[in-house]
């Protein structure tokens, strides 16, 4: 008995006028935490500092970590492996432009109101690969990675 030959054929499975998703301009905006270091002691009660992040526009603001804080002692470095995702957003745009995302880092104190260490707007160019930003303010050094590559989903 001989071998059976199977010939694969591909048919046009699109509807009339349908485009592939790759043709649309969709971007996946992403902000990751690369590292954080406590430079000064700023806690009143203990020796460790407790940090958390609030990122995004007011209606869609995300807190990271969702519960609790990141505890660091003086000169201690927190490097999550792989990097910790702080914020993601899918954006549809016809022309590549820059999107500004509010970025706030706070230090929690049980005895008083939380101190705002970093309050800025991070501008992310659409269609960009991974870029790194470093913030060094009020006793903390933060390194974040931003990217907004084109996606088909």
Q: What does each of the 153 residues of the chain score in pLDDT, given as a tens digit? A: 678 887 777 666 667 776 665 556 888 999 999 999 988 776 556 667 788 888 988 777 777 777 778 888 888 888 988 888 999 988 888 877 888 999 998 888 777 788 888 899 999 998 888 999 999 988 889 999 999 998 876
Q: What is the pLDDT of residue 35?
A: 93
Task: Give the whole-angstrom CA distance, residue 44 versus residue 65.
Answer: 22
40 occurs within a structural domain: yes
Whether residue 17 lies inside any domain: the answer is no
Enter the pTM of the model. 0.75
Give the integer Cα–Cα distance in Å for 51 and 40. 13
What's the domain range around 81? 34-151
Is there a domain that residue 3 lies in?
no
Judge whether 123 lies within some domain. yes
Cβ-contact 90, 148 below 8 angstroms? no
**40 in Cβ contact with 51 (< 8 Å):** no
Specify the pLDDT at position 24: 64
Task: State how far the alpha carbon of 70 is from the alpha carbons of 37, 51, 123, 140, in Å.
Answer: 11, 5, 25, 12
38 domain-assigned: yes
Is residue 13 in some structural domain?
Answer: no
């Amino acid at each position: 008995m001989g071998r059976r030959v199977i010939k694969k054929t591909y048919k046009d499975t699109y509807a009339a006028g349908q485009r592939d998703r790759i043709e649309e301009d969709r971007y996946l905006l992403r902000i990751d935490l690369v590292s954080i270091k406590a430079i000064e002691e700023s806690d009143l009660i203990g020796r460790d500092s407790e940090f958390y992040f609030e990122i995004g526009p007011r209606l869609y603001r995300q807190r990271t970590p969702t519960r609790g804080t990141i505890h660091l002692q003086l000169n201690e470095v927190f490097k999550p492996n792989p990097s910790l995702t702080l914020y993601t957003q899918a954006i549809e745009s016809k022309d590549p432009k820059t999107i500004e995302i509010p970025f706030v880092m706070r230090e929690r104190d049980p005895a008083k109101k939380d101190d705002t260490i970093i309050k800025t707007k991070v501008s992310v160019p659409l269609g960009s690969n991974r870029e790194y930003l470093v913030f060094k303010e009020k006793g903390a050094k933060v390194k974040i990675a931003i990217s907004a590559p084109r996606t088909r989903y």
